[in-house]
Amino acid sequence: MDKPSLVVVGTGIRIIGQLTTESAAWIQIADRVLYLVHDPVADEIIRQMNSRAEPLAGHFAEGKSRKESLDEIVAHVMDSVRGGAQTCFALYGHPGVYASIGHEAIRQARAPGYTARMLPAISAEACLFADLGLDPGASGCQSYETKDFLVNGRRADPSSLLILWQVGIMGNPLYQGHARQPETLPVLIERLLEDYAPDHEVIAYEAAVHFDGEPRIERVALGQLAGIRLSATSTLCVPPSRPPRPAAKMCERLGLPLPVAPKS
């Protein structure tokens, strides 16, 4: 890529094992590497790969607005690009999945004509499918940021898998270093109870961030969800509660037999 330019990479959820060789190469050769990761192992590995790598975590502070911090981070990345550097912006997970700053940095870099591109990476959702043994193709998959799900009145289809991101911070606009149970959790439970029974099993999921670690998988009845610990890295998985209802007329139009509902 030309100089100056921007490449946005993801380190995966577990840098050991999930960092692609392509992303690793950019971390190693870029003039400047600006990174935001959550665990000390990833931090250490990135610094070993490029001794000039600069952490961006300092933009966050207890009680500071997340949006302000995220805007500052994009501005920091853009200063590097404008300053003439071939810049690598590294984020944990997939840099463009529930990570608006990856896309925003690309947009701001391309606007005045810089070369900018994003590389794919392993997201929390990819880990979830593997750890929970779920195939999104089996029932379809609905995936929402929790606040978006609530505020925009999204309707869940209970015949399809539902994944709720950021359930542990649920609309809290302020950064908090230590996990606290979201005060709005009862609102989410009440909302889900409109479509699911109180005894329907939901799963609070945290992928392991170390290659020899274990994921935290907590299965609980929806009505009991308030009793479990959620963190900033929790993702809520709501498996389907009923089979789909095949559309007879559509099957007829397509010349297909009506699917037989799987036995539950």
Q: Does 123 bind ligand SAM (CB under 6 A)?
A: yes
Q: Considering beta carbons, is residue 35 or 205 the nearer one to ligand SAM?
A: 205
- CA geometry: angle at 258 spanning 252 and 259, to 5°? 145
Is the Cβ–Cβ distance between 205 and 131 less than 8 Å? yes
Asked if 124 interacts with ligand SAM (CB under 6 A), we say yes
Residue 31 CB, nearest approach to ligand SAM (Å): 24
**26 touching ligand SAM, by CB under 6 A:** no
The token pair that represents 104 in the structure block:
């925003």
| Residue 33 found at the interface with ligand SAM (CB under 6 A) | no
Judged by CB under 6 A, does residue 225 bind ligand SAM? no
Helices first, then strands: H and E counts in the chain: 10, 10
Question: Considering the complex, what minimum distance in angstroms separates the CB of residue 75 from ligand SAM?
Answer: 18
154 in Cβ contact with 43 (< 8 Å): no
Least gap, CB of 257 to ligand SAM (angstroms): 39
Establish if 204 lies at the interface with ligand SAM (CB under 6 A). Answer: no
Q: Sort strands 115-118 and 54-55 into parallel, antiparallel or unpaired.
A: unpaired
35, 121 in Cβ contact below 8 A? no
Stretch that binds ligand SAM, among 73-81, 82-90, 162-170, 221-229 (CB under 6 A): 162-170
Rounded Cα–Cα distance for residues 155 and 149 (Å): 8
* Interface residues toward ligand SAM, by CB under 6 A: 13, 93-94, 97-99, 123-124, 165-166, 168, 205-207, 209, 232-233, 235
